[in-house]
Chains A and B, each alone.
Chain A
């Protein structure tokens, strides 16, 4: 065997190891000038160029034209194509906000096994179609708040028509979970130029509202016409709720998990739990911070020496220097001795790995002997004055 063959084998074997170890990356890019929001003009044509990159896989380009009949894409050539937007005058589009989509997706490779994945990218285009009449869109934003905080209401009125609106104002009503009104706020009256927007910001005194779910309903009046919008929101308190916990524990070492959710609109720091069973403290979990309204899992490992059976316990939750006790019931069980495991033949991955390691070692030994032999041969040549043909 020549040395070059040995190196080739080392390379091959190493490559096989690399293929086995390195994760495979997939990526997809779609580049083009941003168009949104597109203002609809009947009869207009817009052409935009796009480039696909980042992938070696075959891709499909898909177009969802939405309500527009005149939108097409050209054939993909060298990973490039054009999007052609033609607003046909023969098609009536009612005033409003519309969208259409363009997406590029990797085609699945043959023989992809296990849990495989592909990537796709999409662009969503918005088209604004304005009216020659007075028309509006509404947006009502009410955030979740902590109990006792003022409630900030934002009502945005967007004119979708070319004519000016001489008078626009709104009324916002707060309702509880049973749809019973708690109060109404009336905004000031404003002039709204065509195709522009106005935002009314009002503060509602929510100090008397108890913790719970609420709704807000807005009606906007504009030059003799009206539109409505509504939304829901939550009034929370500095509290942590328990969603779930490990209710069965084996004797000996075991994991204990408790799923908690924050009912507070600010970050809750230093959140942890202590578990007491039969008066004994068995566990204190590591602490974490909870984002507003976030759900998370507290977990830890404990050792249980109690006799099997049902026990009343207490879960003590700590947060921001406060704590609360939650009564729980935990069942302690005795685990049966694990069934003796039948010796299984080594998995195919392990067998392949061992074969590759043996092959690699064999190649290294071969290379060593080859070089050693050549070295000895050269020494022999130099001893015999270089005339040895052997």
Chain B
């Protein structure tokens, strides 16, 4: 087959150019029609009639977890330590055999070979209504089942906390919050902050519970974290709709390694008025 001549190529180019120009004109006309003008057309028939438009805005209850797994990997406690503790905000606490307790600066001397975790569960209200947030737990939800070993009385073992994402600033929030979240519940303080509690009573303005950024023991029964089943303080507004749920674990030196990965599952529930 012979190579096409220059004339043929020029002819094809002209055809292509013509198609492009025609397409552009048609497109512009369509756009002008959309704007209610008929641009290049010289005449057009129009008609008008009245109509009724029904619009129903549905209430969307939606919750998004931008990071749905926390995995500290596997490791052991250094021989010079009684315990090591670490959380999902990459904070490590070394609890030495002599009773001293050093957090952060000393690095991970007591936790050996574990995987540093830098992100907690990032919970965001992605719907268009205010919600409350709680969690339930299934699997090895206690320190005894998840890690085991012996602790001092009152020592944290398997703990949870909530940090508003305007403070936690974890990446993944559809718009990183600039204001404190869980503030929309009214005058009671418990409605004005993330608050880990099982207290469902709203008859008292002085109430129990653990507030923003403070660790408390994970409950196998679950907790309310923001509001409850009658108060929905987590707003849908993008500037104040998210929080980071961190997990803190303490590993005693006498915890027995089973070789099988221990696990539990938290179900985060977003509740709104129906």
Instruction: Report how many A-B pairs have Cβ atoms within 8 Å.
Output: 230
Chain B positions within 8 Å of A25 at CB level: 64-68, 172
Known: A29-B60, A255-B102, A294-B212. A114 touches B71 (CB 8 A): yes
How many B residues, CB 8 Å from partner?
Answer: 73
Closest to B266 in A: A117
Residues of chain B within 8 A (CB-CB) of A108 are 138, 265
Q: Which of A4-12, A156-164, A330-338 contacts B (4 or more CB under 8 A)?
A: A330-338
A227-251 CB contacts (< 8 Å) to partner B: 229-234, 246, 248-250
**Residue in A24, A293, A341 whose CB lies within 8 Å of B78:** A341
Known interface pairs A119-B64, A120-B267; A32-B71 also in contact (CB < 8 Å): no
Give the interface SS of chain A, mostly helix, strand, loop or mixed. Answer: strand
Per the bound structure, the CA–CA distance linking A246 and B101 in Å amounts to 9
B197 lies within 8 A of chain A by Cβ = no
Q: How far is the CA of A27 from the CA of B112 in the complex (A)?
A: 34
Q: A121-B61, A142-B205, A293-B189 are in contact. Are A34 and B69 (CB under 8 A)?
A: no
* CA of A257 to CA of B214, assembled, Å: 13
Find chain B residues with CB under 8 A from A101 CB: 229, 274
Q: Mostly helix, strand, loop or mixed at chain B's interface?
A: loop
CB-CB under 8 A from B67, the residues of chain A are 23-25
Asked whether A115 lies within 8 Å of B266 as measured between CB atoms, the reply is yes
- Rounded to whole angstroms, the CA-CA distance of A25 and B173 in the bound complex is 11
B187 interface residue (CB < 8 Å to A):
yes
CA distance A230 to B203 in the complex (A): 8
Interface string of A77-92 (1 = CB under 8 A from B): 0000000000000000
In the assembled complex, the CB of A347 is this many whole angstroms from the nearest CB of chain B, namely 5
Contacts of B268 in A (CB 8 A): 117-120
Chain B residues 68 to 94 lying within 8 A of chain A, measured CB to CB, are 68-75, 78-80
Are B274 and A125 within 8 A (Cβ)?
yes
User: Within 8 Å of chain B (Cβ to Cβ): is A196?
Assistant: no
Does B68 lie within 8 Å of A24, measured CB to CB?
Answer: yes
For B59, give its contact among A33, A106, A246 (CB under 8 Å). Answer: A33
Q: Do the beta carbons of A121 and B98 come within 8 Å of each other?
A: no
Q: Give residues of chain A (318-371) contacting chain B, Cβ–Cβ below 8 Å.
A: 333, 335-336, 338-339, 341, 344, 347, 349
A187 at the interface (CB under 8 A from B): no
Q: Known contacts A34-B59, A105-B267; is A123 also within 8 Å of B273 by CB?
A: yes
A97 to chain B, nearest CB (A): 10
Q: Residue A292 at the B interface, CB < 8 A? A: yes
Residues of A within 8 A of B (CB): 23-36, 51, 54, 99, 101-103, 105-106, 108, 112-126, 141-144, 213, 229-234, 246, 248-250, 253-255, 257, 259, 291-297, 301, 333, 335-336, 338-339, 341, 344, 347, 349
Known A119-B269, A233-B205, A347-B74; 12 more pairs at CB < 8 Å: A23-B69, A25-B64, A30-B61, A36-B273, A113-B71, A115-B264, A117-B267, A124-B271, A124-B274, A143-B187, A234-B205, A294-B211
Q: Could you pull out 26 A-B pairs where Cβ atoms are within 8 angstroms?
A: A23-B67, A23-B69, A25-B66, A26-B65, A27-B63, A31-B59, A51-B58, A54-B62, A99-B229, A101-B274, A105-B267, A106-B267, A117-B266, A118-B68, A120-B269, A121-B61, A122-B272, A143-B205, A144-B206, A255-B103, A293-B189, A294-B212, A297-B213, A297-B214, A344-B113, A347-B74
* Closest 4 pairs between A and B when the two form their complex, measured CB to CB: A123-B274, A114-B71, A23-B67, A125-B274
- B: residues with CB less than 8 A from A are 56, 58-75, 78-80, 96-106, 109, 112-113, 115, 119, 121, 126-127, 129, 138, 172, 180, 187, 189, 192-193, 203-206, 211-214, 229-230, 247, 261, 263-274
